[in-house]
């Protein structure tokens, strides 16, 4: 038996090794084609130029957001996909208004004008604005320890900087963002009349950065206005407070919360040849903040995702699974698009095996952040050598993407593209998130990296 087994084993090993190396060679050729096409004949950059410069900032419920829906739907139809459609979703509508204005007033009456941006979702100030003394705090514990006696009637100034010594700037963002998201709700508990937040940026400049905030369960009548000031102004205000604790801060903003309005996720599909009923999703979010033009957040992810399907069509690759590009609406201030897509997938009993999101800027890709089990993690990590020529080296376990996470529990693998993170928060949610900050090659490398993972997931399937 033994002697007969050995030749069989050798034969088996031979076949298996041969087929592995044949597959590896095929995969390597396909990745090369994807990267070469994206870099020498890509479309993402032109799409992003249009989205950024001809449409611009596209907050949910705005005219620009609706133009972005129509534009991307039309462009997807041009690609000759099997299906392109709009998925209706009700989204919140918040508008900034046009009267943001602020200054620091010294006890002797000297005024220093300061840039502010109302936080997304904030209530307006009264028409004439508010003016009050400022209490600087760095976290909610410090706020609580000061208590109502020190806070009542004041403006609370949250000034905890992002930690500069963290290598992933996303971790530094995560460590500082509760001030912006929940600062107003917390400060209200102690009778504050307004909130200022240090911008979530690692750059020392004069640009304020907006972003979503929530009043939690604060009753409507008790909600206080909240605005961001720049890192430079935050340092200035903090220094001045040490000299003149009695100084006052004035700000005025006439933002408004409207009734929800109808909008859409934009979806395109190449129907699978072998498993038409198993879905793989690639996407980003179509909405952006109203300041800047949303080129990095998340015009980049939108156009990279569209490029994945364009590359497949261009290279005449016919996927086994049905591959969908989903351009999610309302990530920034509601996540309604992501929630709606997951809800509809569940309602229709659609089997989703893989979703990949790009929502960390259009910078040089470094790898992926994965939410999955050990078997899938091992399979994906086994592809690392294929990615090496493209300097893709991160296959980390971690947060994938806001829009695809609502599918968690009903999907095998969630992945987020990990671009180089150093420059992202310098521009994120500010007037500096513009097309000029995009490097064409970096954007294209990201698209090719996404297409490569999608190709491999389609070829080998999820575990």
When asked if residue 459 is in the footprint of its own copies (CB under 8 A), the reply is no
The nearest distance, CB 164 to its own copies, in angstroms, is 5
Instruction: Return the number of other C-beta atoms located less than 10 Å from residue 228's C-beta.
Output: 32
Residue 289 vs 425, nearer CB to its own copies: 425
Which residue is catalytic, options 186, 331, 332, 371?
A: 331
When asked if residue 434 is in the footprint of its own copies (CB under 8 A), the reply is no
Under rule CB under 8 A, which residues in 12-71 are in contact with its own copies?
35-36, 39-40
From the list 131, 150, 203, 463, which residue makes contact with its own copies (rule: CB under 8 A)? 203
When asked if residue 420 is in the footprint of its own copies (CB under 8 A), the reply is yes
- According to DSSP, residue 360 is labeled S
Beta bridge partners of 157: 136, 196
Task: Give the number of C-alpha atoms closer than 13 A to the C-alpha of residue 92, restricted to the C-beta side.
Answer: 16
Under rule CB under 8 A, which residues in 347-366 are in contact with its own copies?
364, 366
Mode of pairing for the β-strands spanning 256-270 and 155-158: unpaired
When asked if residue 313 is in the footprint of its own copies (CB under 8 A), the reply is no
First to last CA, the chain: 34
- According to DSSP, residue 212 is labeled B
Active site residue 78: no
When asked if residue 381 is in the footprint of its own copies (CB under 8 A), the reply is no
When asked if residue 441 is in the footprint of its own copies (CB under 8 A), the reply is yes
Q: Which stretch binds its own copies (CB under 8 A): 6-14, 212-220, 387-395, 452-460?
A: 387-395
Contact flags string 124-163 toward its own copies, x per CB under 8 A: ----------------------------------------
- According to DSSP, residue 80 is labeled T
Asked if 240 and 90 touch (Cβ cutoff 8 Å), the reply is no
The nearest distance, CB 422 to its own copies, in angstroms, is 5
From the list 214, 218, 422, 459, which residue makes contact with its own copies (rule: CB under 8 A)? 422
From the list 442, 459, 460, 463, which residue makes contact with its own copies (rule: CB under 8 A)? 442
Asked if 256 and 156 touch (Cβ cutoff 8 Å), the reply is no
Helix/strand/coil (H/E/C) assignment for every residue in 415-433: EEEEECCCCHHHHCCCCCC
Mode of pairing for the β-strands spanning 194-198 and 155-158: parallel
The nearest distance, CB 204 to its own copies, in angstroms, is 8
Residue 130 three-state SS = strand
Whole-number Å distance between alpha carbons of 384 and 134: 52
Phi, psi of 88 (to 5 degrees): -65, 145
Report the interface residues with its own copies, using CB under 8 A.
35-36, 39-40, 164-165, 167, 169, 202-203, 364, 366, 389-391, 393-394, 420, 422-423, 426, 439-442, 445
**Could you give the residue numbers annotated as active site?**
331
């Amino acid at each position: 038996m033994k002697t007969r087994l050995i030749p069989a084993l050798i034969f088996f090993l031979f076949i298996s090794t041969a087929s592995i190396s044949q597959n590896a060679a095929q995969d390597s050729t396909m990745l090369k084609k994807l990267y070469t096409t994206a870099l020498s004949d890509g479309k993402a950059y032109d799409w992003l130029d249009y989205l950024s410069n001809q449409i611009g900032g596209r907050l949910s419920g705005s005219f620009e957001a609706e133009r972005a829906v129509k534009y991307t739907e039309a462009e997807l139809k041009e690609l000759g996909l099997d299906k392109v459609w709009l998925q209706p979703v009700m989204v919140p509508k918040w508008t900034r208004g046009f009267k943001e204005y602020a200054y620091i007033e010294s006890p002797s009456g000297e005024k220093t004008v300061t840039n502010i941006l109302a936080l997304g979702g904030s209530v307006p100030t009264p028409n004439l604005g508010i003016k009050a003394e400022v209490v600087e705090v760095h976290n909610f514990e410090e706020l609580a320890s000061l208590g109502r006696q020190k806070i009542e009637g004041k403006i609370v100034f949250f000034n905890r900087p992002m930690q500069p010594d963290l290598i992933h700037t996303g971790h530094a963002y995560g460590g500082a963002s509760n001030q912006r998201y929940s600062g107003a709700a917390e400060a209200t508990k102690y009778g504050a009349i307004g909130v200022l937040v240090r911008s979530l940026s690692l750059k020392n400049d004069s640009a304020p950065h907006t972003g979503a905030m929530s009043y939690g369960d604060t009753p409507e009548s008790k909600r206080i206005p909240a605005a961001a000031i720049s890192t430079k102004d935050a340092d200035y205000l903090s220094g001045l407070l040490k000299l003149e604790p009695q100084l006052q801060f004035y700000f005025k903003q006439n933002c408004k919360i409207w009734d929800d309005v109808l909008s859409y996720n934009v979806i395109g599909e190449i129907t699978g040849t072998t498993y038409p009923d198993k879905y793989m999703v690639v996407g980003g979010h179509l909405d952006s903040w109203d300041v800047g033009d949303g080129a990095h957040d998340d015009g980049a992810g939108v156009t990279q995702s569209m490029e994945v399907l364009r590359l497949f069509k261009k290279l005449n690759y016919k996927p086994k699974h049905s591959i969908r590009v989903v351009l999610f609406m309302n990530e920034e201030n509601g996540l309604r698009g992501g929630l709606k897509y997951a809800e509809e997938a569940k309602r229709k009993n659609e089997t989703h095996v893989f979703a990949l999101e790009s929502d960390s800027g259009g910078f040089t890709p470094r790898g992926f952040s994965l939410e999955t089990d050990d078997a899938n993690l091992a399979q994906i990590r086994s592809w690392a050598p294929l990615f090496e020529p493209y300097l893709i080296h991160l296959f980390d376990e971690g947060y994938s993407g806001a829009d695809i996470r609502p599918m968690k529990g009903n999907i095998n693998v969630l992945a987020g593209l990990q671009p180089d993170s150093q420059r992202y928060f310098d521009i994120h949610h500010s007037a500096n998130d513009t097309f000029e900050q995009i490097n064409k090659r970096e954007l294209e490398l990201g698209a090719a990296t996404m297409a490569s993972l999608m190709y491999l997931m389609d070829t080998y399937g999820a575990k």
